[in-house]
Amino acid sequence: MREEMRLSRATHDRNTAAFERHGEAFNRLMAAFDRFEAKMDELDARARERDARAEKRDARAEKRVVEAAEREAERDAKRAELEAERDARAAERETEREERLGQRLEENAIFIREMNVRNERVARDLARNSEKFAAAQEKRTEEIVAEMRESREESKAGRLAILALLDRLPPAAAA
């Protein structure tokens, strides 16, 4: 009985360790997700820096266009056209940024849903395996208890047989 209890305890300890390992794996996964988020933030910062440099370049170009427009009236139309193009590019960049953000949010939501499904599956598997093991241990325990009962009955029968033999022996004084 103690052996089964020890085995049951050992199994419980292994299951607990497995659960802790799964928790650690989930924490590592979340750390990887955090690193991914940090990398995406870094990439966005780089994109903003590139945009800032592009805007500075655009500003310098605009200044040159304005100076040229002051020198030559004919370039006014060209300057207006360049400004419209720049605004269109800025609007396009802003739209692309918003699309990237939306896409990243969707990807993160999908990732989180998938991780939740995986974690739920692992938890169900752990519970199912634990129940199977508990049922097997209970069956084994019942078998051992039955064997112990049989052994007790056999031992009792043996004792009774030995006592019956002893009762048949002549008294010690007569021997």
Q: Which range marks the domain in which residue 108 is found? A: 2-135
- Predicted pLDDT of residue 138: 94
The answer, yes or no, to whether residue 109 has pLDDT greater than 90, is: yes
pLDDT digits (tens, 9 = 90+) for 35-55: 999 999 999 999 999 989 988
Backbone angles phi, psi at 146, to 5 degrees: -65, -40
Residue 130 corresponds to which amino acid? S
pLDDT bracket for residue 174 (50, 70, 90): low
In a domain, 48, yes or no: yes
CA distance 111 to 115: 6
Buried b (16+ CB within 10 A) or exposed e, 148-163: eeeeeeeeeeeeeeee
pLDDT digits (tens, 9 = 90+) for 127-163: 999 999 999 999 999 999 999 999 999 999 999 999 8
How many distinct structural domains can be found in the chain?
Answer: 1
In a domain, 47, yes or no: yes
Task: Scan for tokens 């953000």, then name that residue.
Answer: 101
The answer, yes or no, to whether residue 175 has pLDDT greater than 60, is: no
- Predicted pLDDT of residue 76: 63
Residue 75, C-beta contacts closer than 8 angstroms, at least 6 positions apart: 65, 68, 69
pLDDT digits (tens, 9 = 90+) for 74-101: 656 666 788 888 899 999 999 999 999 9
Mean pLDDT of all residues in the chain? 88
In a domain, 108, yes or no: yes
In a domain, 14, yes or no: yes
Instruction: Answer whether 0.85 is exceeded by the pTM.
Output: no
CA distance 65 to 112: 50
DSSP secondary structure code for residue 170 in this structure = P
How far lies 81's CA from each of 14, 85, 87, 153, in Å? 72, 6, 10, 107
Among residues of the chain, what percentage have pLDDT more than 70? 94
In a domain, 163, yes or no: no
